[in-house]
Copies of this chain bind each other. A is one copy, B any other.
Amino acid sequence: MNAAQRRLAEGILFTDAYQLTMAQVYFRNGIHETLAQFDHFFRANPDYGTHRAGYCISAGLGSVLEWMRESRFGPAELDVLRAQRSRAGKPLFGEDFLQWLSRYGNFESITLRAIPEGRVVHPHVPLTIVEGPLAIAQLLETALLNQINFQTLIATKASRVRESCQGRLLLEFGARRAQDRAAIAGARAALIGGADFSSNVGASAVLGYPPKGTHAHSMVQAFIALGGSEYDAFRAYAELYPDDCVLLVDTIDTLNSGLPNAIRVFEELRRKGHRPVGVRLDSGDLAHLSIQAARELDAAGFPDAVIVLSNQLDELLIWQITSQIQEEAPRYGMNAEQVIRRLVYGVGTSLITSAGSAALDGVYKLVSLWRNSAWVPAIKISETPAKTLNPGNKRVWRIYDQRGMATADLLTLEHEDPRQQSPLVLRHPSDHTKFRILQPESISEIELLTVEVLRQGQLCVELGDIEAMRQVRQRDVARLDPGVRRLINPHGYHVSLSQSLWELKQQLIGELREWPLGG
């Protein structure tokens, strides 16, 4: 697959075949330009097996908007469709439909409401609400799900790892283990969700961050194989990067070779007026070795030298490492907090792939169609009540309690304003016995989460940069209950329906159940 082929595959044909066959059905039946609304939401927070997330961090919207702006049916794309054949050998797509795609097969007709990137989001809450001609809104499904599902998944993982780092520097190191070019979108999502920097040079450059890194074992091996030593390798590195010198000390033996050689080089740097940055540990008992490394570095007069940890880290391992240091450091006469404070975490595979939960189960569901000058709600019912769709043209609100903490997200119909409802009734999405009634005095704020981002394809809001998204995330995470934030077995966060939306849902379920055979 060369670059031209990749451009073709990454453009508007980055979609499932059925989006195009359905679009042609709509075209033939004259409903392709009927206005439709689709909700994109996920049904469950990531579950990593031994632990699971209590919230997600929204990410990917900016990437989808770029993709939408650039994607359309040009001659190459139309030729792909023109070549497709039915089993009977006839063209699958009519020329009139292809002409329509050529003219209208782009996203200039789409209106998009969305929860901005960096925000805390929860299951069943629409992250994006897509409004546009039925055939076009349908065509957007695959690429929108793909990008927002993935980046939200990674931003969520990054936020969890960020929590376990307790304010220390977090570096994204996953490019080599990422799923192909997801390394790039993944670096973006990791930066939104909580990584401070990435080792990925290209992704960092286009996102406006300096890439970070140290060196590999191979550099030490190379100097040794050519007749030199670990010390020679360290010295060569330090001479070239005297102000950025982080040395990987575990190629031969961390405590008996790497650390003494690094300290010797650091002393030389100091004599030349430079301040060495620190060492990296990539194998062994990282908690124990961190304490020993800190002790040696202290003894040599480098109390500020950092200790970068890497090697299959994730949020639980980092938590475990800091817990072990707290327990073990005093035995060596070390202050545990002073050891922990100098740690830097390099997290690879687990962050860039969301190991244990490699996909967010985001879906894209038709919720409303414009008919006879009004929105007609659409529903799909399921044997599993929690999977029955919340129908209609909706808005999303967040309710903060008297402490200023987020207590529930509320889905309402578009014309509703929960700020005008007193008391406020929150209905459980599927269990009719469960509801909450909130009196005005228990509510400090009600915030509209969905923002109109595109109106007929035109951007109508300024998208902040990644730095701004990070601030949004920090603010939102700080307003989550600690029970929801915790890394293991978090509390469920309430996502509720307004009374009006609840009633509409029940009415539609009733109508569909009475009318199963159609026709």
Q: How far is the CA of A13 from the CA of B207 in the complex (A)?
A: 13
Considering only CB atoms, which chain B residue lies closest to A248 in the complex?
A: B18
Q: Which of B2, B36, B213, B226 contacts A17 (CB 8 A)?
A: B213
User: Does A359 have its Cβ within 8 Å of any Cβ on chain B?
Assistant: yes
Considering only CB atoms, which chain B residue lies closest to A369 in the complex?
A: B225
Interface centre among A9, A34, A179 (most CB of B within 10 A): A179
Query: In the complex the two chains form, is A358's CB within 8 Å of B354's CB?
Result: yes
Copies of this protein chain in the complex: 2
User: Does A5 have its Cβ within 8 Å of any Cβ on chain B?
Assistant: yes
Query: In the complex the two chains form, is A183's CB within 8 Å of B518's CB?
Result: no
Q: Which of B21, B226, B261, B264 contacts A376 (CB 8 A)?
A: B226
Q: How far is the CA of A80 from the CA of B208 in the complex (A)?
A: 10
| Residues in B whose Cβ lies below 8 Å from that of A448 | none
| Residues in B whose Cβ lies below 8 Å from that of A239 | 28
User: Does A149 have its Cβ within 8 Å of any Cβ on chain B?
Assistant: yes
| Residues in B whose Cβ lies below 8 Å from that of A243 | 86-88, 90
The interface on chain A, measured as residues whose beta carbon lies within 8 A of the other chain's beta carbons, has a size of: 146
Stretch binding the partner chain, chosen from A118-126, A195-203, A489-497: A195-203
Query: In the complex the two chains form, is A9's CB within 8 Å of B512's CB?
Result: no
Query: In the complex the two chains form, is B70's CB within 8 Å of A3's CB?
Result: yes
| Residues in B whose Cβ lies below 8 Å from that of A516 | 252-253, 256-257
Query: In the complex the two chains form, is B359's CB within 8 Å of A22's CB?
Result: no
Query: In the complex the two chains form, is A16's CB within 8 Å of B173's CB?
Result: yes
Query: In the complex the two chains form, is B202's CB within 8 Å of A9's CB?
Result: yes
| Residues in B whose Cβ lies below 8 Å from that of A66 | 1-3
Stretch binding the partner chain, chosen from A215-223, A430-438, A439-447, A451-459: A215-223
Query: In the complex the two chains form, is B210's CB within 8 Å of A85's CB?
Result: yes
Query: In the complex the two chains form, is A216's CB within 8 Å of B18's CB?
Result: yes
Mask for A6-40, Cβ within 8 A of B = 1, else 0?
A: 11111101111111111011101101001010100
Stretch binding the partner chain, chosen from A99-107, A139-147, A397-405, A479-487: A139-147
A/B interface sample: 5 pairs, CB < 8 A: A14-B202, A16-B200, A84-B210, A134-B222, A180-B186
